[in-house]
Structure 1
Amino acid sequence: MSRRLLGAASVALIGLLIVALLQGGPGTADRGRELAIEDGDREEVSEEVSRTVGLAGREPLQYANSGWWFCPGSAPIAAHIDRRFYPPTHPQPPPDGRRPAACFADGSAAITAGYSLAPAPAGTQIAGGVYVVPTELFRLRCQAAADALGHAVPCPRRLPYPPRTAQCPGVGPQGCFVRRAAGASFFLEVRGFPVPPGWCPCEASVVVAAARTGRLPQVAGEPGTRRSRRRWRSGGVTSAVSVAGASDAARALLRAVVEGIEMVAPSEQAEGS
């Protein structure tokens, strides 16, 4: 009789175990919660990876069927494997076409990603995001204009890079000497130099001009463009500098150019003639 009871108890125990297994058994809910937490952790890691990709900047672009690489207009800051970044206005960029390691929308994003601004040549000044470099290109033309006009002229010793974008209306040594109906004057314009994105809806330009006091020097530049101006009088001469744009960046460039002006007087030979 006892063996029958033992057999029935065993069958009942086995049945209970089977039911428990089918229902998931004790601890299953906890394991489910643990799995959910692990899934959540995986999602956080994915988000972290996404942020890391953002810090790495954008991939550079390549011209079709060429080895020429460049950064897109939406991310113009080129960062290279030397851990330095170069704005599009930099006077000494890497060789044209070299592949950047990454491209950034601005310098602060490149710095956050661990890059530093590439150094510029000695004597270079950054004004409003524009690199202003020393130049002697117009020394002879300034002297020739001063001799022809018979008075001092404002000669720029620092201009936006590259200074070769500066031009006088005429050619030859006296190219900056201009004759108009209102009288003779000095005129020099720098046009088309690289500027940071969003500078102004205009072509970048700097005008340096001078005329005898009583005649306003021409500093208008491109018609319809708002400009920042500085005018001063000295020795019977009115000098002026203007920069395209009316932003703080344009005014910073204006100050840098004005601070680099040297008044070049007529030579003794010209004064004696």
Structure 2
Amino acid sequence: MAGADWETGNPRRGSRRLVGAALIAVIALLFVALLRGGLDRPDPEQGLTINDRDQEVSEEAPGTVGLAGREPLQYANSGWWFCPGSAPIAAHIDRRFYPPTHPQPPPDGRRPVACFADASAAAAAGYSLAPAPAGTQIAGGVYLVPTELFLLRCQAAADALGHAVPCPRRLPYSPRTAQCPGVGPQGCVVRRASDESFFVEARGFPLPQGRCPCEASVVVAAARTGRLPQVAGDPGALRSRRRWRSGGVTSTVSVAGASDAAGALLRAVVEGIEMVAPSEQAEGL
């Protein structure tokens, strides 16, 4: 009787009730978990936006503008901005870029929008090269500008030497980097014990980055043939030269460096040479 009660009586029904309650509890827990999972699931569009923003930040190193440009630097406690040596090309709000050799840059200290390593990087970012003043020529990355600076001295040198001299009428910017060895009207005449010559040198003008590990230099000289002294500038320095002879006088132009850019600068300076002959008054003496 006891066994029958166990098989058909209350104990069996109680066990089934326990199992049913457990199943209901499990289903309820799963339902709550699903609800929570749905609330925590990120929105697909929101997720893409976050990923895009994170990717942009990771692609650009600190201190950069775009993929190639760098942010300008500022001198401490001043309003003076400049581009670093590793990115010397300054791009400004007018959508133009200015190499450090440009003869007409924006006002000193104005903040560039971005700085670039070279002109091609600035052009790729949508900037164009700023125009130079009228009469300016670019040769080997150097800006050559017209000048009347030496005309009077060239005439004085020709009168003193008694022969024509090669007068530079176009020099690297700024032309005031060019000097004669002496002072006064005849400052470009160099006199030694056995000879005398005409001599002008432009030194220290800005060169494009990486152009030459030497100091920028252009030398223009002339003397009676066979009497032209060494005019190569620094001893041992590589230079590009052009010489020509006319009327018993040897003239020469040389520039620092032996690259294609140095050759282009040499040709441009030679093309801007004007031979200045002695004046009639000097010839009559």
Of the candidates 147, 150, 162, which is equivalent to residue 135 of structure 1?
147
Q: What corresponds to 1:47 in structure 2?
A: 55
Evaluate the alpha carbon distance shift between residue 258 and residue 217 of structure 1 in structure 2; reply closer, same or farther with a 3 A threshold: farther
Residue 119 of structure 1: how far off its partner (Å): 0.7
Specify which of 151, 155, 159 is matched with residue 147 of structure 1. Answer: 159
State the shift of 1:43 in Å: 4.0
Is 1:264 the equivalent of 2:276? yes
Per the TM alignment, residue 216 of structure 1 is displaced from its structure 2 partner at its CA by 2.9
- The answer for unaligned runs of 5 or more in structure 1 is none
Corresponding residue for 1:186?
198
1:250 corresponds to 2:262: yes
Give, in whole Å, the separation in 2 of the partners of 1:219 and 1:78: 36
Query: What code does the residue aligned with 1:166 have?
Result: A
Contact persistence 2:74–2:82 (CA under 8 A): yes
User: C-alpha distance in 1, partners of 2:230/2:45?
Assistant: 73
Match of 2:228 among 210, 213, 216: 216
Alpha carbons of structure 1 residues 182 and 97: separation in structure 2 relative to 1, 3 Å = same
The AA in structure 2 aligned to 1:230 is R
Deviates more, 1:104-113 or 1:256-265: 104-113
CA distance in 2, matches of 1:237, 1:206: 20
Matched residue type, 1:47: Q
Tell me, what secondary structure is at the counterpart of 1:120?
A: coil
Q: Percent identity?
A: 79
Conserved 8 A contact 1:191-1:206: yes
Task: Answer whether contact 1:69 1:97 (CA < 8 A) is retained.
Answer: yes
Deviation at 1:257, TM superposition (A): 0.3
Q: Does 1:200 align with 2:212?
A: yes
The 3-state SS of whatever aligns with 2:110 is: coil
Q: How is 1:38-187 mapped onto 2 (pairs within 5 angstroms)?
A: 42-43=50-51, 46-48=54-56, 50=59, 53-55=65-67, 57-187=69-199
- Offset, 1:203: 1.1
* Unaligned residue ranges in structure 2 (runs of 5+): 1-12
Shift in alpha-carbon separation, 1:80–1:53, aligned structure 2, 3 A? closer
TM-score (norm 2): 0.82
Q: Contact 1:209–1:218 (CA<8 Å) still a contact in 2? A: no
- Largest Rg, 1 or 2: 2
Instruction: State the Cα RMSD in Å.
Output: 3.0
Preserved contact between residue 150 and residue 167 of structure 2 (Cα < 8 Å): yes
> How far has the Cα of 1:215 moved from its partner?
2.0
- Please give the alpha-carbon distance, in whole angstroms, between the structure 1 residues aligned to 2:154 and 2:143: 23
In the aligned structure 2, how far is the partner of 1:214 from the partner of 1:69? Answer: 52
